[in-house]
Structure 1
Amino acid sequence: MMKQFLSALACLAILSSCAVQKQAQLVKEKDVERIIKTLSADDMQGRGVFTPGIDKAASFIESEFKTIGLKPLAGLSGYRQDFSMNRIVPGPYQVSINGKAVEQQNVFYISDKPSLIWNRSSDVETHYIKANQSFTARYKEIMQLNKPVLVYVDESLFSAFKRFRDHYMDERVVGEFQPTEAVFVLGNEDVVQSFSINLTNTISKAPLFNVTGMIPGKSKANEYVIFSGHYDHLGIIDAVEGDSIANGADDDASGVTAVISLARHYKQLNNNERTLIFVAFTAEEVGGIGSQYFSKQQDPDAVVAMFNIEMIGKESKFGKNAAFITGFEKSDFGQILQKNLEGTEFKFHPDPYPEQNLFYRSDNATLAAQGVPAHTISTDQIDQDKYYHTVNDELSTLDIANITSTIKAIALSSRSIVAGTDTPKRIEKLKE
């Protein structure tokens, strides 16, 4: 009798293993390569926001969702989730300190107004960031004052100053206008005795769109599991050896490839008890705007889990068949995934880069702040990735087999959450 029982258990284990293998085979490496090759091609122009390239990328993702047979989200007639934000582009500006004109590369400003005209008689406080001080720490202190400020920065802090300038003097996309007014000037004056500042911004409404689709759940249709990645990238940047297209193959065409592949996987299985939402976010690179808008349209209490996928194009620091999960310790999401991978070679690890604060730097952040077990899955060695945000983030630098194995692992590890038999613990909400 015991032998029969053990034999039955062995048969069940074999059947279960066969079912797992069959599921994994639904994700095909050839198709993975086709998708990521298309999204990272030069004709997508780096998928910068407000460019023809990002519209072309969105159209491609829409066509994939349609071919798969996804349904539009409730209330939408198609796969695009349209919205608009405020686009702010710095315009002409003139700054002089103590009667001397300041070169434009030595100025950056933060303002959501069409113009600023300041002089010594204006209600503006002057602050200094000196050579022996941390630029970032002083920046935070000064910005918390919420007052109009002129900040004079010692020339020795050029590198930190330039990082902030590169961010603020590019176009920005914001939801609501903020009252912040700050002008930062790099120079070698001991004391600012007088100043004349004339700044302008061009402000317009900016149309944006996420690409979304869903597979309705069977018995738990009002419970949602989200699979996401962002399809925007940097667009056209400074040329290096004649190449100016930031293709964004790993960041994050690899993640969107996973989203499309997982949509096809679960549509073919057709056994999801919970509703599955698949979303390619826009404007991650300019502040996570797309995911913020999407998240505000959701009831966070109805979202059971979010699998955000960001940069899975290369082998992780843990080697092959391995990825990491940001915020691993914040819920049992990662433990559930690893349980579902028992018997396979793949393993999920906690985030090895806690100092990078990756958990709140990607598109999972808004829903995570509201208590959703929303985590990002990645393989990127962020501390030494020489292709990150460069023109060299191209298909040729990626490991397609690694991408495929990671997608298969996400498919297998998510199955009990999709089936409604596992529910990850909620994350502690961020206090406002």
Structure 2
Amino acid sequence: MKKSILIFSLLGQLVFAQDKINISKEEVKRIETELADDKMQGREIFTPGIELASAFIENEFTKIGLSHYQKLNNYRQEFEVKGKSANNVIGILPGKSKPNEFVVFSAHYDHLGLKTSGKDKVYNGANDDASGVTAVIALAQYFAALNQNERTIIFVAFTGEEVGGFGSKHFSKGINADDVVAMFNVEMIGTESKWGKNSAYITGFEKSDFGEILQKNLKGSNFSFNSDPYPDQQLFYRSDNARLAALGVPAHTISTSKMDSEENYHQLSDEVSTLDLDNMTEIIKSIAISSTSIVNGKDTPTRVEKL
């Protein structure tokens, strides 16, 4: 009898903790709506629209109070792609006791830009991947306010994912992969997964125990992480996690996108109105909870086999 009461009490505390995480739907909606606004012109690399998006993310990092990455004097990690200027946006929360061990939260902020004709010309990319960038900003807000990270957290919005992963490629070249403990790449979490609400999948689930750690930290909640249900699509190697994963980092992508039936994927119809913002908010909260033991230095995921 007493054991049953104790278990019930602990489960209740976990659910209560998830409810109390300071990540609100209102804030998620604000960030998401701004990133997917028509004025961003589809956030295509090398365009004024992506410059607006970069400036917005930089401003959010400034408000949060993130530190600058490496020797940068701002949040822009600039580089060239075929002779043209591009930039990632990076901010960090220095770790308390393990500052030289890094946990990365990432998403790409570029998208497809503008269609040349038609009434609706903007590829807003609300799900792909304004939803992921929204998660990164919301998680930065959360961890900065919590102020308990033992490991250094790197928050990065990559550019150039849609045209060849140039941002993540540049970032991976400039960091010692051995120092990166884990990478949470967030890609398209604005719609329900094939399992419905309160669920998502992790690409490359079997390649490390990253997913098992996340599931352990969510034990007692109503949220579940699952293995990638679309192995034939090779999603583990199709997003920004792939560059660091190739170097042995347990770098995985978290997504809910139904890749066999996502009707708005790379379409003009990928707009905020098509997203489930309530469910998206719960996903972001669950990422926060599930990453706790990694961020706090208690768990270290096994390495991925290098390519």
Task: Identify whether the pair has TM-score above 0.5, normalized to the shorter chain.
Answer: yes
Of residues 211, 227, 230 in structure 2, which corresponds to 1:350?
A: 227
1:244 partner SS: coil
Of residues 329, 346, 361 in structure 1, which corresponds to 2:238?
A: 361
> Which amino acid in 2 is paired with 1:236?
L
> Which amino acid in 1 is paired with 2:17?
V
Is 2:298 the counterpart of 1:421?
yes
Instruction: Show the counterpart of 1:67.
Output: 63
Aligned ranges for residues 109-124 of structure 1 at < 5 Å?
none
Instruction: Show the counterpart of 2:265.
Output: 388
Q: Distance in 2 between matches of 1:356 and 1:381?
A: 11
User: 1:239: Cα distance to partner?
Assistant: 3.8
Instruction: Show the counterpart of 1:21.
Output: 18
Aligned ranges for residues 10-409 of structure 1 at < 5 Å?
13=10, 17=14, 20-21=17-18, 24-86=20-82, 205-240=83-118, 242-409=119-286
Check the 8 A contact 2:236/2:242 in 1, yes or no: yes
Instruction: Show the counterpart of 2:289.
Output: 412
2:270 partner SS: coil
Q: Any unmatched runs of 5+ in structure 2?
A: none
2:114 partner SS: strand
Instruction: Show the counterpart of 1:174.
Output: none
User: 1:15: Cα distance to partner?
Assistant: 9.1
Q: Distance in 2 between matches of 1:312 and 1:420?
A: 26
1:19–1:275 CA distance, 2 compared to 1 (3 A): farther
Q: Distance in 2 between matches of 1:265 and 1:81?
A: 23
Check the 8 A contact 2:42/2:123 in 1, yes or no: yes
User: 1:16: Cα distance to partner?
Assistant: 5.3
User: 1:13: Cα distance to partner?
Assistant: 3.2
User: 1:300: Cα distance to partner?
Assistant: 0.4
Q: Distance in 2 between matches of 1:47 and 1:401?
A: 25
1:78–1:352 CA distance, 2 compared to 1 (3 A): same
Which structure has the highest helix share of the two? 2
1:76 partner SS: coil
2:162 partner SS: coil
1:348 partner SS: strand
Asked which structure has the greater RCO (Cα within 8 Å, sep 6+), the reply is 2
> Which amino acid in 2 is paired with 1:363?
D
User: 1:390: Cα distance to partner?
Assistant: 1.1
> Which amino acid in 1 is paired with 2:28?
V
Asked which structure has the greater CA Rg, the reply is 1
1:237 partner SS: coil
> Which amino acid in 2 is paired with 1:373?
P
Q: Distance in 2 between matches of 1:26 and 1:281?
A: 25
TM-score w.r.t. length of structure 2? 0.96
Q: Distance in 2 between matches of 1:9 and 1:77?
A: 51
Q: Distance in 1 between matches of 2:141 and 2:15?
A: 20
Which structure has the highest strand share of the two? 1
1:253 partner SS: helix
> Which amino acid in 2 is paired with 1:247?
N
Q: Distance in 1 between matches of 2:297 and 2:8?
A: 25
> Which amino acid in 2 is paired with 1:283?
G
1:424–1:42 CA distance, 2 compared to 1 (3 A): same
> Which amino acid in 1 is paired with 2:222?
E
1:234–1:11 CA distance, 2 compared to 1 (3 A): closer
